[in-house]
Amino acid sequence: MSVLTLKIAVDLAGQALAAGREAHCAPLTVAVLDSGGHLIALQREDGASLLRPHIAIGKAWGAIALGKGSRLLALDAQQRPAFIAALNSLGQGSVVPVPGGVLIRNGEGKVLGAVGISGDTSDVDEQVAIRAVEGVGLRADAGGGA
């Protein structure tokens, strides 16, 4: 597979929401972006708060923008806050540097897109994202640690 289709993106979002319910997560929002950072699918569970869609998109967008899972962006934010501030300025505030943004790779390692999840703790969001990506038969790249 070389592109992330709408069908796969919707399936991935469904997998994420199902994994979230199984784990008794707070209401989640799932954003799936293609390799160019364009939104393909967005699903917000009943009860998810107002900014969750923006946060989920920001987690995924940051992963695509820098080619690494948002867990590594969180480390960058701690170690190089000026860089993350500049990145957010360039990206018009679009990067959310906390775990929960996971790159989606095919079997050969090519980045097809990213999924961002927001609603529970960032670590739980990331775990749900990984389960969802793997649930559709693709490789999740969270940036280490998960």
Over the stretch 45-68, which tens digit does the pLDDT of each residue have? Answer: 999 999 999 999 999 999 999 999
Contact 9, 40 (CB under 8 A): yes
| Contact (Cβ atoms closer than 8 angstroms) between residue 94 and residue 133 | no
C-alpha separations of 23 from 26, 36, 68, 126 in Å: 9, 31, 25, 12
- pLDDT tens string 11-35: 999 999 999 999 999 999 999 999 9
Could you state, in order of their start, the residue ranges of all structural domains in the chain? 6-141
pTM above 0.95, yes or no: no
Q: What is the CATH number of domain 6-141?
A: 3.30.450.150
